[in-house]
């Protein structure tokens, strides 16, 4: 699936973690994230980065895909609970800033592969 902002594809290799097991595992054990790769964890209002090998951008989203908060998380951390977050998009560290997305922006999901 793809994540789009202002008609531009930002991340084009995004998977969904929607089961308890896949949400818990998240990106644990991966060596890195390739350019354009990401993971949507749903439902989710808090993440951890235990057993991860690289920092990530964590983008907390409402049900309407509005960005509530963006934070960069180093390995081995537990993030704060984000009220009103329906899901989280985890992507390569620094890519949210690179693409210029910010709190209050609304992302679009394209489920076509």
So what's the pLDDT on residue 46? 96
Report whether CATH 2.40.50.180 matches the domain 2-87+95-110.
no
Letter string b/e over residues 56-83, b meaning 16 or more CB atoms within 10 A of that residue's CB: bbbbbbeeebebbbbeebeeeeebeebe
So what's the pLDDT on residue 111? 80
Query: Cis omega (within 30 of 0) on the bond before 43?
Result: yes
Report the helix count and the strand count for the chain, using DSSP H and E: 2, 8
So what's the pLDDT on residue 113? 53
pTM of structure: 0.94
Query: Within the chain, which residues score under 70 in pLDDT?
Result: 112-113
Task: Phi first, then psi: give them for residue 98, nearest 5 degrees.
Answer: -55, -40
């Amino acid at each position: 699936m793809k994540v789009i902002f202002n008609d531009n594809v930002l991340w084009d290799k995004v998977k969904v973690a929607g089961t308890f097991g896949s949400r818990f595992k998240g990106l644990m054990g991966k060596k890195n994230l390739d350019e354009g790769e990401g993971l949507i964890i749903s439902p989710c209002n808090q993440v951890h980065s235990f057993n991860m090998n690289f920092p990530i951008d964590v983008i907390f989203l409402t049900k309407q895909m509005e960005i509530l908060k963006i934070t960069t998380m180093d390995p081995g951390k537990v993030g704060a609970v984000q009220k009103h977050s329906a899901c989280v998009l985890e992507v390569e560290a620094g890519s949210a800033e690179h693409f210029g997305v910010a709190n209050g922006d609304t992302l679009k999901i394209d489920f076509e592969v």
